[in-house]
A and B are shown apart, each in its own frame.
Chain A
């Protein structure tokens, strides 16, 4: 590789380069037809050394060595001015230390005699200095105080010298040196020329590479074809489309072949005829995946005087562009649809808004009305045939509404409600409305509109008024009810107290009667006892008239006792102090017992008493003592009120009702229908006159009914005046425990 303009050429020191080579060319040098063949041989040696050497430093080293060996110059330096440099640099030295390579001479230092030697191409001699002043006049060189010659280098005819030789020696330069300078200068010139030439080539190559890099960097395929459509130059992208090696797949090769055909037909048809750029669409196949690629073909015909005309084609991939444009089209279509939908939506919204009975007003951010429905129009727009007063009402409405909206616009509230006092423009009557306004914000939070719905409050207010009237009426009614209730409560309380008092009075009465009966009995006990004793003759024999009188005392005493016992029973029942003694017993036995107890009276009255009941009648569970008391009462009543005939006591079970039915039927005087209920009342005898025919307290049936009720039974009567009566006692077969 050639060395380009070296700033610091490499230095070949003496002895480092082998001095070999066989002379093959003989050069005749006429000028120095010397005395002997040695000189000629030494010249040939130098020329042979130069042959094939392309480097200045190498040649210079060979030259200096030759000078030392042939001409006896012991110390020498070769200075060369590289291209574009303003100094002379050491390229080779002979007989000096390595420090010499740092030496250089600036060509701009015009006071330096070496510079004038170089620029003027004039040989100079510098003798050894004899004094400090001499030394000052001498240029500073590595040769120091030694005498030396400065010899310029360069071919005649060239503007500038190639360099300078500094040669040690006090004597005059030999003639042979001039031959050397000529040859060496020519060699240097040749090398320099070659270097410049090589530099030019390199530059061209670099530019070419750069150009290739540039066109390869272009993502669009670029190609140069000849007039036949053959590919001359293609960039990397184009190569992938139009070339394929044998190793590559069949599909790819086919695609490439097709692309070439498509390209040549595209170019051949038009490219030649027309001059200048043409733009066409070219459809190619992507060899990588077989997909379609759409290119825009830009071809330009170039005229090259050396190579004839060719066509430069640039293919621009518009596949994506096409796709993009299709997408744009699609988007536009969608937008149109959306727009249509939006319009339909808006129409529907308008319909909805118009169908709402409440006024709706849409206000824009500036406070202007952008939409209102029909009810709102009636409030806020002046009708064509409006009278002056109607116009004023509408204007007042508008003002009220505007002030509400203004308040909404300046506030930060998202929603706001309020009442506005409007006027009905049709009637002029006050129309209070409830306004509810909401802000509509865009995606970015900007206020786009305010929607306000107004609701006529008149109906609600009227309803409210009616309701409050109703409320007042209801309150009044409630107060009255409360007063009445309080009154009733008071009455109830009074009644309750009276009831308690009555109860207490009743209890007192019962207690009093119980006590009284005890107090009655004690003396009666003595009276009856003594009467009995007198009748029995305990105190001695009694005369028959006395005995008759004593009998009267006894019977009246017994009657008194009966009355006392009955009063006592009533009061015990009323005081709830008549406990039940439940047992299971046979009814026929009981009936016989009753009959036996009353046998004396039966005998006395000369009446028949018949018992009609099955012997195997089931026993019943009840209070035996009380059932007996009832039957005794019924039977003694029957005997008392029957003068002839008889009494029948019957008993039977009613299986369905689970009851025992006992009846006492007589053939006595009977009871009239109207009186049949009254006979069970307290102290009731049908004949209430003081001279009544039948004795008794009138408590008997009353006691019977109460006892029957205590036993969960009942007593009823069937009777006909003059025919007789039947009293029926019905008792549950299983009385309560």
Chain B
């Protein structure tokens, strides 16, 4: 890992390698420093080791799921201040609620185009910290149904 005073560091947690690789490639292309993790347990380790500026958390994960990992991150003083964005393919009601309860600061539904994700990250990092916690989870507007 390279030091990068000007590049914000993103911890990307996803068990689906294609998606992880795709987002990593695009985030690095967009000027982010990316640290990856394949499950919740790894995510905890990387969060402490790399102290990222933001964490993108898939919820359905092996070993330790995203909700549990988020709860632990928020319970740990060293990682509690890092914003966590839930990133999930689950669209059923209650998922976003559960994510919020676990401590997620934002909620993004997959599929999410890489550029949309980058826009969301920038919004959170640039926005006032107080606004982040009140942010309503929302579905990406790009994929509104148009049948």
Residues of A within 8 A of B (CB): 514, 517-519, 521-526, 528-530, 532-533, 536, 538, 558, 561-563, 565-566, 568-569, 572, 577-579, 597-598, 601, 629, 632-633, 636, 695-697, 699-700
Q: Are B91 and A565 in contact (CB under 8 A)?
A: yes
Residues in chain B near residue A696, CB distance under 8 A: 147
**Is the CB of B119 closer than 8 A to any CB of chain A?**
no
A522 to B60, CA, bound (A): 11
Task: Knowing A526-B16, A579-B93, say if A632 contacts B114 (CB, 8 Å).
Answer: no
A695 to B145, CA, bound (A): 13
Chain B minimum-CB-distance residue to A569: B145
Q: Are B92 and A572 in contact (CB under 8 A)?
A: yes
**Is the CB of B111 closer than 8 A to any CB of chain A?**
yes
A420 to B36, CA, bound (A): 112
A699 to B145, CA, bound (A): 11
Q: Are B19 and A533 in contact (CB under 8 A)?
A: no
Contact with A521, one of B93, B110, B115, B141 (Cβ below 8 angstroms): B110
Which of A514, A529, A536, A565: most chain B Cβ within 10 A? A529
Q: Are B144 and A529 in contact (CB under 8 A)?
A: no
**10 pairs, CB–CB < 8 Å, chain A vs chain B:** A521-B89, A525-B110, A526-B19, A533-B114, A577-B93, A577-B94, A579-B94, A597-B144, A633-B147, A696-B147
Q: Are B113 and A632 in contact (CB under 8 A)?
A: no
User: Which B residues from 41 to 99 make CB contacts under 8 A with A?
Assistant: 60, 89-94
Which of A522, A524, A695: most chain B Cβ within 10 A? A522
Chain A minimum-CB-distance residue to B23: A529
Contact with A529, one of B26, B29, B90, B141 (Cβ below 8 angstroms): B26
Q: Are A565 and B143 in contact (CB under 8 A)?
A: yes
Q: Are B89 and A533 in contact (CB under 8 A)?
A: no
Q: Are B111 and A524 in contact (CB under 8 A)?
A: yes
A523 to B112, CA, bound (A): 11
Min distance, Cβ A514 to any Cβ of chain B, angstroms: 5
User: Which B residues from 3 to 38 make CB contacts under 8 A with A?
Assistant: 16, 18-19, 22-23, 25-26, 29
Leading 8 A-B pairs by shortest Cβ distance = A525-B111, A696-B147, A521-B89, A526-B18, A700-B147, A525-B110, A518-B89, A529-B22
Residues in chain B near residue A579, CB distance under 8 A: 93-94
Residues in chain B near residue A699, CB distance under 8 A: 147
Residues in chain A near residue B94, CB distance under 8 A: 577, 579
A735 to B74, CA, bound (A): 37
**Is the CB of B146 closer than 8 A to any CB of chain A?**
yes
A566 to B91, CA, bound (A): 11
Chain A minimum-CB-distance residue to B28: A538
Q: Are A538 and B112 in contact (CB under 8 A)?
A: no
Chain B minimum-CB-distance residue to A699: B147
Min distance, Cβ A135 to any Cβ of chain B, angstroms: 173
A522 to B144, CA, bound (A): 17
Q: Are B110 and A562 in contact (CB under 8 A)?
A: no
A524 to B110, CA, bound (A): 9
Q: Are B145 and A629 in contact (CB under 8 A)?
A: yes
Chain B minimum-CB-distance residue to A521: B89
Contact with B147, one of A514, A529, A697 (Cβ below 8 angstroms): A697
Residues in chain B near residue A521, CB distance under 8 A: 89, 91, 110-111
Q: Are A562 and B146 in contact (CB under 8 A)?
A: yes
A695 to B146, CA, bound (A): 10
Min distance, Cβ B119 to any Cβ of chain A, angstroms: 13
Which of B90, B110, B112, B146: most chain A Cβ within 10 A? B146
A273 to B48, CA, bound (A): 175
Q: Are A518 and B91 in contact (CB under 8 A)?
A: yes
Residues in chain A near residue B112, CB distance under 8 A: 525, 529
Q: Are A529 and B19 in contact (CB under 8 A)?
A: yes
Task: Knowing A525-B110, A525-B111, A538-B29, say if A561 contacts B143 (CB, 8 Å).
Answer: yes
> When each residue 111-126 of chain B gets 1 if its CB lies under 8 Å from chain A and 0 otherwise, what string results?
1111100000000000
Q: Are A538 and B144 in contact (CB under 8 A)?
A: no
Min distance, Cβ B32 to any Cβ of chain A, angstroms: 13
Residues in chain A near residue B90, CB distance under 8 A: 518
A422 to B111, CA, bound (A): 104
Contact with B111, one of A519, A529, A577, A597 (Cβ below 8 angstroms): A529
Min distance, Cβ B88 to any Cβ of chain A, angstroms: 8
Residues in chain A near residue B22, CB distance under 8 A: 526, 529-530, 533
Q: Are A633 and B29 in contact (CB under 8 A)?
A: no
Min distance, Cβ A713 to any Cβ of chain B, angstroms: 19
User: Which B residues from 96 to 143 make CB contacts under 8 A with A?
Assistant: 110-115, 141, 143
Known: A577-B94, A633-B145. 10 other contacts (CB 8 A): A514-B92, A518-B89, A521-B111, A524-B111, A533-B25, A538-B29, A561-B111, A562-B147, A565-B91, A632-B145
Contact with A566, one of B16, B18, B111, B145 (Cβ below 8 angstroms): B145
A532 to B118, CA, bound (A): 13
Which of B60, B91, B141, B145: most chain A Cβ within 10 A? B145
A521 to B19, CA, bound (A): 11
Q: Are A572 and B114 in contact (CB under 8 A)?
A: no
Q: Are A538 and B146 in contact (CB under 8 A)?
A: no
